[in-house]
Amino acid sequence: MDFDSTFFFFLATPAYFLAFLGYLLGAVLGSAESPEGDANRSAQAVGIAVSPAMPRTLSWARWATVLTAVGVGFGTIGVVLRAFELGQASDWAISVFLPITTTYETLTFMAWLIPLAYLVFERRYAFPAVGAIVTGIAFVMLALSASPIPLHVGAVSYYQDAGYEVPERLLPPQ
């Protein structure tokens, strides 16, 4: 079976969403090995009212961090494959390497880069409440990149002049 970059971005999307939920639960409920005030401090940082509804028996933030790392791993494979896909399509992409020439590529690249930078900072500063914001943003970016947004009129004419057939769903409204 031949996998392309979109498959790995597809796998990263639910990982980021589940990590988002884990970070939210970690901020509200705290964790098993943290002191009682840790849940209050984390929840207040992201503006959530604290409610001790469940006993703290699970480190939600730790599992969310693992899921974020899994999402970053899938995103890394997707970015590298996308760079190779571009390299096969044009010679200049090999020298540039960063796949950020279209909106899709920019969104997927940033949805990979932002959580990667977050994982580095979380390891250094150990403040997982920010993970809810970061993984939420990454999830929205990947969801937007998968939506069929119509192309600009200039892009349509460029692709048609180059000999490509533009699908009907990507044509702008008349």
Least confident of 26-35, 117-126, 152-161: 26-35
Alpha carbon of residue 163 to chain centroid: 33
**Residues 3-59 pLDDT 10s:** 788 899 999 999 999 999 999 988 887 655 555 555 555 555 555 555 555 445 568
Distance (Å, whole) CA 114 – CA 122: 12
Distance (Å, whole) CA 124 – CA 121: 5
pTM equals 0.70
**Residues 52-67 pLDDT 10s:** 554 455 688 889 999 9
Q: 151 with 166: CB under 8 angstroms? A: yes
In this predicted structure, what is the pLDDT of residue 69? 96
In this predicted structure, what is the pLDDT of residue 118? 95
Is the per-residue pLDDT at 120 higher than 70?
Answer: yes
Distance (Å, whole) CA 146 – CA 59: 32
The dihedral built from the CA positions of residue 26, 30, 32 and 38, taken in this order, carries a sign that is: positive
> Which sequence spans correspond to the domains of the chain?
5-146
Confidence band for 82, pLDDT divided at 50, 70 and 90: confident
